[in-house]
Amino acid sequence: MRIIKTKNHLSVVSALAGLCLALVPAAWAHHSQSEYDLRSRAELEGAVTKVEWKSPHAWIYVDVTNDKSEKVNWSFELPSPNTLMRRGWTRDSLKPGDHIKVSFAPARNHPAIGIASSIKDGSGKALFTGVTPIYEPEAESRGAR
C-alpha cells in the first residue's frame, strides 16, 4: 500500500502493486491506458461542470476545491457511452451542477486528469463506471521476451 497526496482534499490512494492479475479502474475500450497510473486510486468530490457523452469514451468535468480553497476543474474519463448505456446510464444520468464523488486512477503526466472507477451521486448511490481486469502482458507473453 502507498499513499499519494494530491493538491486536493479527500485524496486517498491505494495501490494493488505486485499482483499479476489486477483489477483496476475503467474501461479498456480502445487504448492501453498506460497513460494512467492504474495501480493508484484517489477520491475527489465536487460539482459536475460538463458532460461529454461521446465515443470512444465519455468524459465528465468536475470542479474540485483544493486545500487552498481554489477551484480546480478535473477531467475524468469514463467507458464508452455504449458500455454505460448497457449498464443503465443515459446521457442525462449526470448533469452540470450534480454533486458527485469520483474514485479514479490519476494520469501519469497530466495534472487534474483521471480515469474513473466509480462515481457516487449526492445521495451516495453508486453509478456504474466499470472496473477492468488487467492482465499483465509481462506475465503472459513469455514468447516475446
Partner 1 sequence: MKTLWRAMLLLVLAAVPAAGMAQWLNYPTPGIPRLSSGAPDLKAAVPRTPDGKPDFSGMWFANVPSRDYCRTGDCIQEERMAREQVNLGSKLQGGLPYTDWSKEQMKVRRANGGREDPHTYCMPPNFPRAWTLPQYMRIVQTPGMMVVLHEFNAAYREIYLDGRPLPENPNPTWNGYSTGHWEGDTLVIETNGIRDDMWLDLQGSPITESARVTERLKRLNFGIMQIEISVNDPKAYTKPWSVTIEMAVQVDTQMLEEICMDNEKDTKLYSK
Residues of this chain that bind partner 1 (CB under 8 A): 23, 26-36, 52, 54-57, 59, 77, 79-83, 85-87, 103, 107, 109-110, 113, 117-118, 126, 128-135, 137, 140-145
Least Å distance, CB 144 to partner 1, is 5
Distance CA 133, CA 22 (A): 6
Residue number, 5 or 108, with CB nearest to partner 1: 108
Backbone angles phi, psi at 137, to 5 degrees: -55, -35
Residue number, 65 or 93, with CB nearest to partner 1: 93
Q: Respond yes or no on whether the N-terminal peptide bond of residue 25 is cis (omega within 30° of 0).
A: no
Distance CA 121, CA 13 (A): 20
Least Å distance, CB 86 to partner 1, is 7
